[in-house]
Amino acid sequence: MKTKLLISVLSLLLLLPILVQATHIKGAYISYTVDPQNPRNFNFTLTVYTNHSSPAEDPEAVMHMGDGNTVIVPRNTVAKYDKDYDIEHFHWTYTYNIPNHYTVVWAGENRNNSILNIPAPSDQVGFYTYTTVNVNPLSSNRHGINLAGLPLLEGVVGKPLRHNFAAYDADGDRIIYQLVAPKKEDAAGKLVDIAGYTLPEGLTLDEYGELIWDAPAVVGRYTIAIQTIEYRDGVVQGLGVADFEVTIVDKDKKPHLELLNKNQLSQNDDGSVKVMPGQPLKLEYFMRRHPDSNAPALPKLYSELDTLDLLPISIAIRDSADGHAITISFTPGEELVREQPYIVAMSAMAPEKANWSNGDLFAGTNWEFTYLYIGDAEPTASEDELKGAGFILYPNPVADQFAVEAPDMPGMFLHLLDAGGKKAGVLRLKPGKNTFTRPASLSAGLYFYTIYSRYKPVGSGKLVVR
């Protein structure tokens, strides 16, 4: 049995000088839209989450556009998220001369010190976030991946932590989520993985983009990077990486938040919710402040459904049993039917401000996530479910040869993407055993595969090449 290390009050006091001396960047990502009249013209947004109490400022951002040019972008807006954090936006337009793939990078100031999963000194390691765009006049892609939710989260030592950024693509493209190593710049100016970086033990990411950390064991800061890949019909449209910081503390002031009527909703086998076009849907939540909190909790909805104004949404809040009942109501139409789910993220936030000067730090926001399929679409099978359907890929890891056993389904193909989201190969499958020699183009590393039947995804998995 593993022993969990629970940090005492004395340990937290020892950690206090580290927290006080922290830099101000909490997380960042880059999004974009494409001008439909000129597909070489991109409208970018850099979103940065910062510590409100820090005197550090970012009045401008230097953006590396991937074609050898840099652009100095003034900050457009600063909005207060809560009493601890601000959200800053930088907007700019850029026109590429030549069709190609370009990686757009923001290099912020150094990271915080004493990040537990980056080798010391972590405050000598730069902060980088980036997105890769495909400049192609023939492409119909008009939007990059955006976040309806927030990469702002604190967890409590020894307690489960769940979070989802509620990523979306306004084009409706499918999104694949991957935990990746954060980047830094090497001596030659290239982006490389931070040497010695490790994922926090027990942290996983599911097919809906939900971070699940069953029991964080050590108080402190952690850096996590999530890569999102948008693709359509097996073709990558673009990718981005949200780099952010998670703080684990030992004090819990999260309000109670619960979706009360989940068992009354139509659900798929994985717990996602299914609703048909024209069918009214109600999500009934109960929210109550934490006993140690001195003010009522504050609810807020995050979803592409309201961010993009895709349909009218009614939100009703009423007093109930020493708390509040919250009802989210809407009726989806036929135009919202698609294969991938919509993410509905409801939050309940404690209104108190954390006191960084004396170490009064706490986790103050709770979340409930609902994954909503509209229409007859169902969740794409996971790797285990692929096996249950008759698909088996072996051996894995792969050395020289591998085989895929496939059931009797029409028009089967296996699409391979590398860890950067670029297409690495397409293999035709026939019913029965399919034996392949490892293509020379598959160098050692991690790959992601999706099996299609008649151009519809059946399921996805990971492939390791040695």
The answer, yes or no, to whether residue 399 has pLDDT greater than 90, is: no
Name the β-bridge partners of 131: 104, 240
pLDDT tens for 105-135 read 998 877 888 899 999 998 888 888 999 999 9
Residues 369 and 391 in one domain: no
Query: Would you say 164 and 343 are in contact if contact means Cβ atoms under 8 Å apart?
Result: yes
3-state secondary structure of 262: helix
Name the β-bridge partners of 155: 248
Query: Would you say 374 and 338 are in contact if contact means Cβ atoms under 8 Å apart?
Result: yes
| pLDDT band at residue 374 under the 50/70/90 scheme | very high
Residues 51 and 75 in one domain: yes
The CATH number given to whatever domain includes residue 154 is 2.60.40.10
The answer, yes or no, to whether residue 434 has pLDDT greater than 60, is: yes
The residue out of 249, 268, 287 marking a domain boundary is 249
Residues 234 and 261 in one domain: no
SS3 content of the chain, % helix, strand, coil (to 5): 5, 50, 40
Query: Would you say 143 and 171 are in contact if contact means Cβ atoms under 8 Å apart?
Result: yes
Residues 172 and 291 in one domain: no
Asked which of 1-15, 39-53, 69-83, 379-393 is least confident by mean pLDDT, the reply is 1-15
Asked which of 90-104, 237-251, 273-287, 434-448 is least confident by mean pLDDT, the reply is 434-448
2 within some domain: no
Q: CA 127 to CA 148: how far, in whole Å?
A: 22
**Backbone angle region of 2, left / alpha / beta, with phi > 0 → left and psi within -120 to 50 → alpha:** beta
Assessment of whether the complete model's pTM goes beyond 0.85: no
- The pLDDT, as a whole number, for residue 388 is 64
| pLDDT band at residue 325 under the 50/70/90 scheme | very high
**Backbone angle region of 419, left / alpha / beta, with phi > 0 → left and psi within -120 to 50 → alpha:** alpha
For range 76-83, the mean pLDDT: 87
The answer, yes or no, to whether residue 153 has pLDDT greater than 80, is: yes
| pLDDT band at residue 21 under the 50/70/90 scheme | very low
Residues 267 and 227 in one domain: no
Helix (H) or strand (E) holding 227: strand 220-232
Q: Which residues contact 68 (CB under 8 A, 6 or more apart)?
A: none
48 within some domain: yes
3-state secondary structure of 19: helix
The answer, yes or no, to whether residue 245 has pLDDT greater than 80, is: yes
Q: Which two tokens stand for residue 426?
A: 């397409």
**Which among 80, 76, 75 has a CA at the least distance from the CA of 58?**
75
Query: Would you say 328 and 259 are in contact if contact means Cβ atoms under 8 Å apart?
Result: no
- The pLDDT, as a whole number, for residue 116 is 94
- The pLDDT, as a whole number, for residue 378 is 66
Higher pLDDT, 356 or 64: 64
| pLDDT band at residue 309 under the 50/70/90 scheme | very high
Residues 91 and 228 in one domain: yes
Q: CA 462 to CA 449: how far, in whole Å?
A: 6
| pLDDT band at residue 188 under the 50/70/90 scheme | confident
pLDDT above 90: percentage of residues in the chain: 53
Q: Which two tokens stand for residue 305?
A: 């459904």
Residues 324 and 458 in one domain: no
Query: Would you say 114 and 220 are in contact if contact means Cβ atoms under 8 Å apart?
Result: yes
| pLDDT band at residue 210 under the 50/70/90 scheme | very high
Higher pLDDT, 151 or 155: 155
For range 74-94, the mean pLDDT: 92
Q: In what order do the strands lie in the sheet with 445-453?
A: 423-429, 412-418, 445-453, 456-465
Q: Which amino acid is at 424?
A: A
354 within some domain: no
Residues 41 and 100 in one domain: yes
Higher pLDDT, 461 or 156: 156
Higher pLDDT, 422 or 404: 404
For range 432-436, the mean pLDDT: 91
How many domains are contained in the chain?
3
| pLDDT band at residue 20 under the 50/70/90 scheme | very low
- The pLDDT, as a whole number, for residue 420 is 66
The answer, yes or no, to whether residue 191 has pLDDT greater than 60, is: yes
- The pLDDT, as a whole number, for residue 333 is 95
| pLDDT band at residue 260 under the 50/70/90 scheme | very high
3-state secondary structure of 18: helix
Tell me phi and psi for residue 384, to 5 degrees: -65, -40
**Which among 114, 90, 129 has a CA at the least distance from the CA of 23?**
114
- The pLDDT, as a whole number, for residue 8 is 37
Residues 51 and 113 in one domain: yes
In this structure, the number of other CB atoms found within 10 A of the CB of residue 297 comes to 24
| pLDDT band at residue 357 under the 50/70/90 scheme | low
Question: What is the extent of the structural domain holding 228?
Answer: 9-249
Summary mean pLDDT of the chain? 86
DSSP structure string for 70-136: EEEEE--EEEE-SSSEEEEEEEEEEE-SS-EEEEEEEEEEE--TTBTTSPSPGGGSEEEEEEEEEE-
The CATH number given to whatever domain includes residue 403 is 2.60.40.3080
The answer, yes or no, to whether residue 287 has pLDDT greater than 60, is: yes
For range 54-65, the mean pLDDT: 88
Residues 42 and 101 in one domain: yes
Q: CA 307 to CA 304: how far, in whole Å?
A: 5
3-state secondary structure of 297: coil
Residues 327 and 187 in one domain: no
